[in-house]
Amino acid sequence: MAHPLLLLLLAAAAAVPAAAAQTDVTDAEALMQLKKSFTNSSSLSSWLITSTDGDKSPCAPGSHEWHGVVCSRGKVTGLRLNGLRLGGTVDVGALVGFRSLRSVSFAGNNFSGPLPAVDRLTSIKSMFFSDNQFTGVLPDDFFSKLSHLKKLWLDHNELSGAIPASIAQATSLLELHLAHNAFSGELPPLPPPALKVFDISWNDLEGVVPEAFRKFDAGRFGGNQYLCYVPTSDRPCKRVQTAGASSSRRSPMAFVTLLVSVVVVALVLCLCCNRSSSSRVRDFDPAHRGGDGLDERPPVYMVKQVSTTGKRSASWLGKRTGSLLRGHRRAASAAKADELGGGGGAGDLVIVNNCKGVFGLTDLMKAAAEVIGSGGLGSAYKAVMANGVAVVVKRARDMNRATKDAFEAEMKRLGAMSHANLLPPLAYHYRRDEKLLVYEYIPKGSLLYVLHGDRGMDYAGLDWPTRLKVAVGVARGTAFLHGELAGHEVPHGNLKSANILLAPDFEPLLVDFGYSGLINHMQSPNSMIARRAPECAAGHPVGAKADVYCLGIVLLELLTGKFPSLYLQNAKGGTDLVMWATSAIADGYERDLFDQAITSAWKFALPDMTRLMRVAVDCVEMDADKRPDMKVAAARVEEVVAAAMATVRERHEAAGGERDAAAAGGSSRSSSHAQYVRDGSMQRITSVGERSSRRGSNDYSS
């Protein structure tokens, strides 16, 4: 008979594999578990388990790319998820399952709450949690389990409490960054023995820096009011604990001081507001509603400001605004016109398109004006003239590449253009150092604002059929320019959502086209978005294919609803739409890209969305030679939009028949909000393909 101990051992051995089978989780499943703990995880759309991959590891040969997952020898060794705007929390339990995980980066996200129990990751070597909103204290034994840790970055959070004395037990730690938190108390007596880099600046520490820590530069301890690198007689190294009585005696005086300060600040703010109310800038829409819009911010900063129409802003009328307040208004306006016309080799306003009538520089001088934007080329203003006509005046700098004669000829050529999807300039005023460009004012604003701004009624109207209308209109207008301005180095040069205005019926109108040959790009290298195409960034001259690239970005913007990082000069913020879309399509996950605002109500249109997405991706090819030319790209957009519109109409007619049948049967069911939106969309899209009598043909062939 077997020994009882042996039986126990055999039973235990049999139970271990069974338990392991129950708890064993594949790498793909662990990543999906981690993703579930995040909010705002759209940037991780490539994290999914497909029917083709099954339970295959993300690091296995032939597996699709998992964004941010680092592999080595077929195993997950790192996660680089920094700067993805992730929120929620970090499921450490999911990370523990990765036996070969050595580095994780969650820096630059929106995580909040207590720092996760990352001390459970005992095999980790590098952890980066900077630039989040983590709070709470570090446990006393936090560092005792992290004997393999070499780099820990916790700076720019909201951590508090004392720095654990167990820090000395992190025997392999080389870098420790704790700056810009709220750590308090005194430093522990000993640092980790191998520590090479240490930063505890801008916290709330006190006491004297221990001798063992003084091998680090004094600046690494700065910003702590009561922390003394070396004790001195003129600086306290400890907070003075005040008695309750003395504190209560001082509180009335403190309250009076605070009250006086608030009153003074309020008065100063009122004075400043009165002085600057006539020149408020609307940051939400800097391109038509102002300038060239190269500094557009991501949607979170796009806030529609109160209009200041009626309050005069004379800053675009010349250097000295005081002349408007002296003497008779008409005489002052005439004097201002003379000032603008003098010294710069210029005269009055030159009308190049009279669709809004004929007006002069003095009419603009007398107009009620407001600042509505500022960009790389200069500022823009809305001006309402005495006859009620509203225009946008753009004050353009660095537009001095061409001679005066060449400039005037080009402006007359641009003003004479007639197309349903172009908004040509109405007039200009020439000076050597700067030019005034006058456009018709379009109240709805730009596609940039409607798509990424305050998401009001206009955003609700930007559904799938309307986005098709915008896409085909932009393609037609740009292709027309490529026929009419074929001799230009880049016919449009500044195609982006900020330069696509939306008429009341959502018909897109392109502005700021044809200026590439007039701008001195040495003085203003970032003024034209076409010069951010990959070939230009690599040092090659700008060409017509750069416009094709920009068209692809606009199509991706319409399909995804995301703000393109290309529009930002510092490339911080927004979404790299090109990388996101190309990788998703290569892996067959393009359906994860589409804006949920359109997919939720128009699921049947997913095949058409996918076809348009493929056109967009072809337009943003890194190799300019592989991109279609503009005429071909526009024709492909036309083809996709025509098929998509036909599908929408068929569904609309079928839905109408069902409603009629339900009504005949006595049904009292009310139509849904989604159906209401679709009905409105059908009214808006009936004009797609029709000629605009106001602006001319929509044909894109020259």
How many degrees, rounded to 5, is the angle at CA 618 between CA 616 and CA 620?
75
**Higher model confidence: residue 489 or residue 4?**
489
Average pLDDT of the residues in 565-575: 73
pLDDT one-digit tens code per residue, 459-478: 889 999 999 999 999 999 99
pLDDT at 317 (0 to 100): 46
According to DSSP, residue 495 is labeled -
pLDDT(334) > 70:
no
pLDDT at 128 (0 to 100): 92
Residue 583 to residues 158, 523, 535: CA-CA distances in angstroms? Answer: 36, 36, 20
Element (DSSP H or E) covering residue 151: strand 151-153
pLDDT(324) > 80:
no
SS3 422: strand
According to DSSP, residue 162 is labeled P
pLDDT at 132 (0 to 100): 93
C-beta atoms surrounding 109 within 10 Å: 24
pLDDT at 698 (0 to 100): 53
Which pairs count as long-range contacts for 188-197, CB under 8 Å and 24+ apart, including other chains? 188/163, 188/164, 189/165, 191/167, 192/143, 192/167, 192/168, 193/168
pLDDT at 400 (0 to 100): 80
Lowest mean pLDDT among 266-270, 382-386, 388-392, 642-646: 266-270
pLDDT(302) > 80:
no
pLDDT at 285 (0 to 100): 39
pTM score, whole prediction: 0.54
pLDDT one-digit tens code per residue, 67-81: 888 888 888 888 989
pLDDT(444) > 50:
yes
pLDDT at 170 (0 to 100): 92
pLDDT at 541 (0 to 100): 87
Distance CA 172, CA 463 (A): 56
**Higher model confidence: residue 345 or residue 354?**
354
Number of H helices, E strands in the chain: 17, 23
Q: Distance between terminal CA atoms of the chain?
A: 99
pLDDT(22) > 90:
no
SS3 547: helix
Instruction: List b or e across 235-266, with b for residues whose CB sees 16 or more CB atoms inside 10 angstroms.
Output: eebeeeeeeeeeeeeeeeeeeeeeeeeeeeee
pLDDT at 337 (0 to 100): 43
Average pLDDT of the residues in 94-103: 88
Find the length of the chain: 702
pLDDT(316) > 50:
no
Mind listing the domains of the chain with CATH numbers? 27-228 (3.80.10.10), 351-440 (3.30.200.20), 442-656 (1.10.510.10)
Confidence of residue 313 (pLDDT cuts 50, 70, 90): very low
Confidence of residue 522 (pLDDT cuts 50, 70, 90): confident
Lowest mean pLDDT among 330-339, 585-594, 688-697: 330-339
pLDDT one-digit tens code per residue, 627-680: 999 999 999 999 999 999 999 999 888 876 665 555 555 444 334 444 444 455
pLDDT at 232 (0 to 100): 73
Relative to beta strand 508-510, strand 500-502 is antiparallel
**Higher model confidence: residue 360 or residue 299?**
360
pLDDT(684) > 60:
no
Three state DSSP letters for 626-662: HCCCHHHHHHHHHHHHHHHHHHHHHHHHHHHHHHHHH
Average pLDDT of the residues in 120-140: 92
SS3 185: strand
Count Cβ atoms within 10 A of the Cβ of residue 310 and give its class: 0-12 exposed, 13-18 middle, 19 or more buried: exposed
* DSSP letters spanning 54-95: TT--TTSTTPPP-TTEEEETTEEEEEE-TTS--EE---HHHH
